[in-house]
Chain A
């Protein structure tokens, strides 16, 4: 049994704060969270937001489980989660040192990866707030846009955009790197037809150096 008020969503300038009743038991909280999320689903739509938890302290596993519920029920892309206590501690420290409070919308490139199994076909697209791994081909006409890196374990023939929110350290890697168009950060390029044949059988990656996209075979590390 769960109490209707054991979970409360609060909108803050930094995203959504989920308050959890300290006295409720974890399973009841999960049920309540699922219900609350479903109710708020249309409100959330596919916004990009940060989520923090307050109230009942959660360990890493519990936090992951809670996030999983929100992930499953909504199309939210969640950019960061931090226990609010830690953040407040930091804030007060920052305030003492006269620094601006840190932005909670910190990118989680390294943490979040989306795995897609199978061929990504013409007209299909993946947009993800993190890195993307495709276990299969990405055919011409497909689109992968990621905030982090893009790795295609197959032939990459569609359009890719790594580091789409401005991360110039993002890279694109594929067993056959022959995209229709290649974008990293805000640089757009394409591979000329005659060079595509050269890339055919060498797993390669593309990265930015001094404002130019370079392509190198993987074995050159």
Chain B
């Protein structure tokens, strides 16, 4: 029996879909059998981020309505054969699903996959209720902005009210330079409000934009800083203890020499 995670945030544009794609791919890289479910009906994106848009024939609503079998709607990833995507419908809206149908679908998926990762739509209405209905764990994505943290706090309250306790936090788009200058909330500032377990911190990295546009999750890219952060998240999900990444980039050889002498004196 697999585990069902829902990736949610309340606020839009903080990186739910990107996180879903990278966590899903990250788990697939280490050999887990994974399915990613796009629950954002009407505004589907996960297929684009995964570069699988042109392969969609059937979608989640077709499965629910019985137009096709579940197997027919699942799209196998082009890079990893143990990674699948269940795309959202684009021409319907959130009312095409109900929480009960979603629970049934998740039950079916978890029998076949080790990890089911659900990409939740923004907001706290019907789409959110559908997305969380079948999940047994939640990952809350936020950015170090007051508005995003407020929404994350609201969502954590709603998750707890729906018996999804102890959600995990992904703090996305941290800019170490700004934090250092005191212009951005620190990890501690965010944790003080949200007070939940932190799963990972993702630095604000251009490689995310590039890989998202290319439809190729950066978690597989060894040179990407954000990719490394997502690989750490994957390892933590698998139960490994990995310390949070140092957000201060190494200053290079000269900088280290300088630092050494300053400490020496």
Question: Footprint of B on A, CB under 8 Å?
Answer: 119, 121-124, 137, 139-141, 155, 157
Nearest B residue to A140 by beta-carbon distance?
Answer: B150
Check if A122 sits within 8 Å of B150, measured CB to CB.
Answer: yes
* Contact across chains for B154 and A122 when beta carbons are under 8 A apart: yes
Q: Which residues of A contact B150 (CB under 8 A)?
A: 122, 140-141
Q: Which residue from chain A places its CB closest to the CB of B158 in the assembled complex?
A: A123
A137 pairs with B158, CB closer than 8 A? no
Contact of B157 among A124, A155, A157 (CB under 8 A): A124
* B contacts with A, residue count (CB < 8 A): 11
| Known pairs A124-B157, A157-B193 / 13 extra A-B pairs, C-beta < 8 Å | A119-B195, A121-B153, A121-B156, A122-B151, A122-B154, A122-B157, A123-B157, A123-B158, A137-B193, A139-B193, A141-B150, A141-B153, A155-B192
Q: Mark B193-207, 1 if CB is under 8 A from A, else 0.
A: 101000000000000
- A selection of 27 A-B contacts at a CB cut-off of 8 Å is A119-B195, A121-B153, A121-B154, A121-B156, A121-B157, A121-B160, A122-B150, A122-B151, A122-B153, A122-B154, A122-B157, A123-B154, A123-B157, A123-B158, A124-B157, A137-B193, A137-B195, A139-B153, A139-B193, A140-B150, A140-B153, A140-B193, A141-B150, A141-B153, A141-B154, A155-B192, A157-B193
Chain B residues positioned under 8 Å from A137 (CB to CB): 193, 195
Report Cα–Cα, A123/B195, bound state, in Å.
16
Segment 125-162 of B: residues with Cβ below 8 Å from A: 150-151, 153-154, 156-158, 160
Give the A-B contact count at a CB cut-off of 8 A: 27
Identity of the chain A residue whose Cβ is nearest the Cβ of B156 in the assembled complex: A121
Interface core residue of A119, A121, A137, A155 (most chain B CB under 10 Å): A121
B87 to chain A, nearest CB (A): 31
Chain A residue numbers with a CB within 8 Å of B158 are 123
* CB-nearest residue of chain A to B151: A122
B interface, by DSSP: helix, strand, loop or mixed? helix
B22, chain A: closest CB distance, angstroms: 27
Closest beta carbon of chain A to B124's beta carbon, Å: 8
The distance in angstroms between the C-alpha atoms of A157 and B193, with both chains bound, is 9
**Chain B neighbourhood of A122, CB < 8 A:** 150-151, 153-154, 157
Bound form: Cα–Cα A140–B152 in Å: 12
| A-B pairs, 5 with minimum CB distance | A121-B157, A122-B154, A122-B153, A123-B154, A121-B153
CB distance from A28 to the nearest CB of B (A): 36
Given the complex, which residues of A lie within 8 Å of B151, measured CB to CB?
122
In the complex the two chains form, what is the Cα distance from A140 to B193 in whole Å? Answer: 8
- Min CB gap A139→B, angstroms: 5
- Return the chain B residue nearest A123 by Cβ: B154
B152 and chain A: residue at smallest CB distance: A122
Give CA–CA (A122, B146) in the complex, Å. Answer: 12
Nearest Cβ in chain B — how far from A140, in angstroms?
A: 6
**Roughly how many angstroms separate A141 CA and B151 CA in the complex, as a whole number?**
9
In the bound complex, residues from chain A placing their C-beta under 8 Å from that of B195 are: 119, 137
Contact residues in A for B153 (Cβ distance below 8 Å): 121-122, 139-141
B-side contacts of A140, CB under 8 Å: 150, 153, 193
What's the least CB distance linking A188 to chain B, in Å?
21
Chain B residues with CB below 8 A from A139, complex form:
153, 193
> Who on chain B is nearest to A121 by CB?
B157
Q: Within the complex, what minimum Cβ distance (angstroms) separates A136 from chain B? A: 9
